[in-house]
């Protein structure tokens, strides 16, 4: 492991009080640095415990620029940080810059992130919270709350309420609240139609995939507007395009021979599920943490469903035999461990019912290996998804609908995300797009 990685690993566990490695600049050149709350002494002391003895030299920096992501504007920008003291460490031909500054450490921010995710996303102590992200000393909260007259910005009252909540618990962090657009009036066609996807990213992660095959789970209307017709499937089918590090991107989406080109098609839209990026010292790179493996893709076209030739309003062979209508949508917590969920596998053309094993299962140790299988794919981990006992299905079933059978009705719950020590489900109730399923 590199010196950057060793320091970041110690900070992740709150042994040291540094940030994760950051992209920094002195105005002339860019380099990797870490900010820290203390002087260099604790760093050298803890490194010596693991038999690492770097040289340490004072630098003349009095400020440093740090690259920071602005979720509201969806852009990266440089933030000027005042430096108390700076050091450059040398070890095994590696150079590490450390700057003492008034910040919140990596370990402290990780703890804050986990506590807020539990209280705001899982336990829903505030309404309309869809995502929690952290970067340096900033907490970023994604909300679906808008005003009736302005759907392009978050509701100012909701923004103030969220900021007061976070600042009331954590005094020394910055808070940013941004809008995650919502969707309503969704109906399902039960995985009846296959989808084919071509995706290219020319961002920090560069890759291109042709003819990825998945299953379609749901369709509906963005913001309840029948002109904004929307398809829903699993986000990993799009190779996790559409984030700050996997943009710009282009998506070709075909369902039942209807082709969409997103976002180069001017009237198209693509909305991934809730996620954030965190530096992972195990791989010495950024990893995307996915909190619901769901994606929404569509266009401003009132004839889109008609052009696609799809029929909707039911789950195909929902009980294995009958096509049943959807009458309700459930939140994540509406299903309990020990209960049952049913998957209508689109590609496999089968229906299977499973027992719910966990409502918060993370697939870190399998997902960490995926880039070894395909190095083009950005590193990722599915966080706090639903796990079902038993496995079924095949490649191409991702995105298939998951639901509760209620007599002759269906209560929609999520989409099929894959198999990891059981069957993994991405619930709609914690996705970045709120979905109300109707007949």
Q: What pLDDT does 435 receive?
A: 41
Which two three-digit tokens encode residue 147? 């005003």
Residues 6 or more apart whose Cβ sits within 8 Å of residue 379 = 280, 283, 285, 286, 287, 288, 367, 368, 370, 371
Kindly report the pTM of this predicted structure: 0.64
pLDDT tens profile 122-177: 677 888 887 787 778 888 888 877 776 666 678 899 899 999 999 999 988 899 98
**Does a structural domain hold residue 163?**
yes
Residue 163: phi and psi, rounded to 5, are -60, -45
Residues of the domain holding 141? 106-180
Number of residues that make up the chain: 439
Residue-wise pLDDT for 398-410, tens only, equals 999 999 999 888 8
Distance CA 426, CA 415 (A): 5
- Residue 438 inside a domain? The answer is no
Verify that 112 and 128 share a domain, yes or no.
Answer: yes
Same domain, yes or no, for 123 and 139?
yes
Confidence of residue 40 (pLDDT cuts 50, 70, 90): very high
Q: Are 401 and 218 within 8 A, CB to CB?
A: yes
Does 222 share its domain with 269?
yes
- Structural domain includes residue 263: yes
- The answer to whether residue 307 sits within a structural domain is yes
**Does residue 420 fall inside a structural domain?**
yes
Looking at the fold, whether 194 and 223 belong to one and the same domain comes out as yes
Per-residue confidence (pLDDT) for residue 183, from 0 to 100: 44
Q: Is 377 exposed, middle or buried (0-12, 13-18, 19+ CB in 10 A)?
A: middle
- The answer to whether residue 70 is domain-embedded is yes
Distances (CA, A) of 102 to 19, 172, 210: 11, 10, 47
Q: Looking at mean pLDDT, say which of 45-49, 75-79, 113-117, 307-311 comes out highest.
A: 45-49
- State how far Cα 424 lies from the chain centre: 16
In percent, the amount of the chain with pLDDT more than 90 equals 31
From the list 147, 178, 138, the residue with the least C-alpha distance to 35 is 138
Contact at 8 Å (CB) between 437 and 188?
A: yes
Q: Which residues contact 51 (CB under 8 A, 6 or more apart)?
A: none
Tens of pLDDT along 359-388? Answer: 989 887 666 666 555 667 788 889 889 999
Distances (CA, A) of 282 to 19, 31, 184, 228: 15, 20, 40, 42
In tens, the pLDDT along 310-356 reads: 766 778 888 988 888 888 878 788 899 999 999 999 989 899 999 99
Dump pLDDT digits (tens) for 52-66.
Answer: 999 999 999 999 999
The residue from 100, 134, 165 where one domain ends is 100
User: 227-248 pLDDT, tens per residue?
Assistant: 777 888 999 999 888 887 888 8
In the predicted structure, residue 93 carries a pLDDT above the cut 50: yes
Domain count, the chain: 3
Closest CA to 74 of 273, 242, 249, 267: 242
Question: Do β-strands 194-202 and 206-215 pair in parallel, antiparallel, or remain unpaired?
Answer: antiparallel
- Whether 183 and 433 have beta carbons less than 8 Å apart is answered as yes
Q: Are residues 154 and 35 in the same domain?
A: no
What are the distances in angstroms from CA 340 to CA 88, 334, 335, 352, 363?
Answer: 56, 11, 8, 10, 21
131 and 188 share one domain: no
Residue 312 and residue 206 share a domain: yes
Residues 290, 10 contacting (CB under 8 angstroms): no
Token couple for 214? 């998945």
74 in the Ramachandran plot: left (φ > 0), alpha (ψ -120 to 50) or beta? left
Q: Which of 49, 66, 100 is the last residue of a domain?
A: 100
Decide if 436 is inside a domain.
no
How far apart CA 47 and CA 103 sit, in angstroms, is 21
**Token couple for 41:** 């002494």
DSSP 8-state assignment for residue 16: S
Residue 438 pLDDT grade (very low, low, confident, very high; cuts 50, 70, 90): very low
CA neighbours within 13 Å on the CB side: how many for 55? 9
One domain, residues 33 and 160? no
Last residue of a domain, one of 100, 133, 162: 100
Same structural domain, 318 and 260: yes
Unique residue bearing structure tokens 């302005």: 150
Residues paired with 31 in a beta bridge: 24
85 or 302, which is more confident: 85
Q: Are residues 345 and 203 in the same domain?
A: yes
Together in a domain, 284 and 333: yes
For the chain, how far is it from start to end, CA to CA, in angstroms? 55
Looking at the fold, whether 276 and 366 belong to one and the same domain comes out as yes
Cα distances from 223 to residues 129, 227, 327, in angstroms, run 17, 10, 19
Question: Do the domain assignments include residue 304?
Answer: yes
């Amino acid at each position: 492991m590199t010196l950057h990685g060793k320091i970041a690993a110690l900070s992740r566990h709150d042994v040291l009080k540094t940030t994760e490695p950051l992209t920094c600049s002195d105005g002339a050149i860019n380099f990797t640095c870490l900010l820290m709350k203390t002087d260099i002494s604790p760093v050298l002391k803890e490194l010596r415990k693991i038999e690492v003895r770097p040289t340490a030299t004072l630098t003349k920096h009095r400020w440093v620029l740090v690259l920071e992501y602005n979720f509201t504007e969806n852009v990266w920008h440089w933030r000027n940080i005042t430096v108390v003291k700076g050091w450059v460490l040398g070890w095994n031909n590696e150079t590490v810059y450390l700057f003492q500054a008034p910040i919140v450490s990596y370990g402290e921010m990780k703890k804050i992130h986990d506590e807020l995710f539990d209280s705001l996303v899982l336990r829903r102590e505030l309404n309309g919270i869809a995502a929690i992200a952290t970067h340096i000393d900033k907490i970023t909260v994604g909300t679906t709350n808008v005003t009736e007259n302005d759907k392009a910005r978050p509701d100012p009252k909701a923004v103030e309420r969220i900021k007061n909540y976070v600042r009331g618990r954590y005094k020394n962090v910055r808070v940013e609240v941004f809008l995650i657009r919502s969707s309503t009036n969704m109906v399902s066609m039960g995985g009846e139609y296959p989808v084919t996807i071509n995706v290219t990213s020319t961002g920090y992660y560069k890759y291109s995939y042709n003819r990825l095959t998945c299953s379609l789970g749901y369709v509906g209307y963005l913001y309840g507007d029948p002109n904004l017709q929307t398809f829903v499937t699993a986000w990993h089918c799009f190779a996790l395009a559409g984030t700050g590090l996997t943009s710009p991107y282009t998506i070709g989406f075909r369902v039942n021979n209807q082709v969409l080109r997103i976002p180069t098609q001017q009237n198209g839209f693509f909305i991934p599920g809730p996620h954030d990026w965190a530096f992972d010292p195990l791989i010495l790179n950024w990893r995307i943490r996915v909190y619901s493996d769901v994606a929404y893709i569509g266009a401003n076209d009132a004839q889109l469903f008609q052009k696609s030739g799809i029929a909707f309003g039911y789950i195909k062979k929902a009980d294995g035999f009958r096509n049943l209508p959807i009458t309700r949508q459930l939140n994540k917590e509406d299903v309990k461990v020990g209960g049952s969920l049913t998957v209508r596998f689109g590609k496999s053309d089968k229906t299977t019912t499973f027992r719910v094993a966990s409502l918060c299962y993370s697939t870190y140790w399998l997902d960490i290996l995926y880039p070894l299988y395909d190095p083009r794919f950005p590193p990722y981990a599915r966080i706090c998804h639903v796990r079902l006992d038993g496995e079924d299905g095949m490649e191409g079933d991702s995105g298939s609908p998951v639901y509760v059978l209620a007599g002759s009705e269906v209560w929609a719950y999520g989409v099929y995300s894959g198999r990891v020590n059981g069957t993994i489900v991405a619930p709609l109730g914690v996705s970045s797009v709120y979905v109300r399923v109707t007949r």
